[in-house]
Structure 1
Amino acid sequence: MAADVGEVEDVRGARRLLAGARCVLFDFDGPICQLFPGDRSRPVADELRAMTDAFGAGDVLTSEERVDKDPHAVLRAVHRAGRNRSLPGLLEALEELVVAGEVEAARTAWPTRGADTLIDLLSKRRTRMAVVTNNSPLAAEAYLDDKCLRRHFDVIQGRTADPSRMKPDPDVVLRALRDLKFASQDAVMIGDTGADVDAAERAGVAFIGYGRNAGRREHLRAAGATVVIGSYGPLLRQARQPWEARQGEADESEDTFAGGAAGHHGGGDR
């Protein structure tokens, strides 16, 4: 029962944050889709490791990075080593491989259930939206174009040539805010990792954690997220209900998410 009460409070908290937001910043892989479901990222990571070995730089990888399914782990390792060692062209070549792998994965990515509906609802209330991802912005654009969602997003910011600026560094969040011309207090970020929690906190942006299973939700809370939802379903069901039909909710600010927030427009017309 306590868990149910906690879940209700999280949904209410998420609705309050969205109701007050002028812009919503979505992490891409997780909150919008599963870019590499299961172990599908491993072949890309293996390809990066093979290239690193071919460059004679395999020793820069730790034992954990030797088996990590995340290609970003290899990028970070090579960038780290490059500060003290000459690795001409390796990082650039690895980045090309990762971009190609992520763009290819975008064609078969699994949509996160309810994400398209949430994006549509936010768009109808004229909330500005951006993607803030550690993936290539080209992958996010490819997926959103394919799902006819690109038109809802004013900004797509992703990984740059400097892997050290990936989240938990707030760089990608700050870039999106600059492009949107909003202050941090105007924004809410939706993310699914501890790195997302840290990036949002360092940027001064409110945060909604999205954890599709209990383990991810526990991880987000341990990282400091205070509002964590397990799916968009309860949020969307409440948003579709007319205000009069919802009992036990007296905070009128929550209704702005369901009914369109004329008072929250800003940053120019869409």
Structure 2
Amino acid sequence: MSADVTRLFAEIDAVLLDFDGPVCSIFAGHPARDVAAELVGMLRSHGVDLPSHLATESDPLEVLRWTGSTGVLETTRMVEDALCEAEERAVQTAAPTPYGREVIVAARQAGLPVAVVSNNSAGAVTAYLAAHRLMGHVAPVIGRAYADPSRMKPNPEPILHAVRALGASASRSVLVGDSLSDIDGARSAGVRVIGYANRPAKVDAFRRAGSDVVITSMKPIADVLTRRCEQVEEQDSLGR
């Protein structure tokens, strides 16, 4: 696994990270299923006719996707606003992903720009990064388009937005993500992709989806980038 990551990063000039997964578990202290239930309850209270499957939906982003598919902008905005508020509460108790911080810091020290590309709101991502003293290492933060869930990953638009903002080429950028939407979006954007399988069931699914590399921990990336930092420092010292 480390050898695969090493080979991939030898061809990479920019790092894109999904947020919920590679950086932190946003809903660790405020469960996603509770947020989804709150959104469904709000829709019901406004008289929205809901499909039966939405009653047991545990992913608030899927509730937003469904709402957006109705084409009723006022309702979509209502759900978007409520989800943004819930996410900004959730990041206060989010659990940092082991080695996620090390990946961000080591990438920047190795001279690789880092962007976050998330289906969560930019406000929530920024609040987390600020609270964990990571804002100086990450730019830009690309969150989901307001009240337009069709533009969330796997739509490649936010990924390509990040690549352009970093002044990088898609083929020499890598996205680290923990969902099929990350992998599919990266493939559509022409970006390399590392599937972070934070659950065993994801490993085979990510391989079938076309991940360049599949990892079960962020540690291999942190290790590769740390070695790259050491090589940069050694080259600098030799050049003095």
Residue 103 of structure 1 and its aligned partner are, at CA, apart by 0.9
The structure 1 segments of at least 4 consecutive aligned residues displaced by more than 6 Å after TM superposition are none
Is the Cα contact below 8 Å between 2:98 and 2:218 reproduced in 1?
yes
Q: Output one character per residue of 1:81-118: Cα deviation in whole Å (capped at 9) or x when no partner.
A: 12xxxx36211111011001111111111110011111
Residue 52 of structure 1 and its aligned partner are, at CA, apart by 1.2
Q: Output one character per residue of 1:104-134: Cα deviation in whole Å (capped at 9) or x when no partner.
A: 1111111100111111111111101100000
Residues 1:224 and 2:210 aligned together: yes
Counterpart AA for 2:58: K
- Give the CA RMSD over aligned residues: 2.2
- 1:187 to 1:88, Cα distance in 2 relative to 1, 3 A: closer
Q: How does 1:6-85 map to 2 (within 5 A)?
A: 10-37=1-28, 40-59=31-50, 62-82=51-71
Residues 1:169 and 2:155 aligned together: yes
Residue 259 of structure 1 aligns with which residue? 231
TM-score of the superposed pair, with normalisation by structure 1: 0.80
Counterpart AA for 1:33: C
Residue 157 of structure 1 aligns with which residue? 142
Q: 73-82 vs 93-102, which deviates more?
A: 73-82
Unmatched 5+ stretches in structure 2: 236-240
Q: 221-230 vs 123-132, which deviates more?
A: 221-230
Q: Secondary structure at the match of 1:107?
A: helix
Residues 1:122 and 2:107 aligned together: yes
Q: Secondary structure at the match of 1:209?
A: strand
Q: How does 1:176-195 map to 2 (within 5 A)?
A: 176-195=162-181
CA distance in 2, matches of 1:124, 1:226: 24
Is the Cα contact below 8 Å between 2:103 and 2:225 reproduced in 1?
no
- 1:144 to 1:128, Cα distance in 2 relative to 1, 3 A: same
Residue 97 of structure 1 aligns with which residue? 82
Q: Output one character per residue of 1:187-213: Cα deviation in whole Å (capped at 9) or x when no partner.
A: 111001111000000000001111123
Is the Cα contact below 8 Å between 2:19 and 2:117 reproduced in 1?
yes
CA distance in 1, matches of 2:84, 2:130: 17
CA distance in 1, matches of 2:41, 2:88: 20
Q: Give the fraction of aligned pairs with identical amino acids, expressed as a percent.
A: 35
Counterpart AA for 1:137: A
Aligned length, in residue pairs: 234
Is the Cα contact below 8 Å between 1:166 and 1:172 reproduced in 2?
yes
Is the Cα contact below 8 Å between 2:115 and 2:141 reproduced in 1?
yes
CA distance in 1, matches of 2:139, 2:30: 31
Q: Output one character per residue of 1:112-159: Cα deviation in whole Å (capped at 9) or x when no partner.
A: 001111111111111011000000011111111111111101200011
Counterpart AA for 1:233: K
Q: Output one character per residue of 1:190-249: Cα deviation in whole Å (capped at 9) or x when no partner.
A: 0011110000000000011111231122221232213101112344446556xxxxxxxx
CA distance in 1, matches of 2:32, 2:73: 25
Counterpart AA for 2:66: A
TM-score of the superposed pair, with normalisation by structure 2: 0.90
Q: Secondary structure at the match of 1:182?
A: coil
Question: Residue 193 of structure 2: which of 182, 204, 207 is its match?
Answer: 207
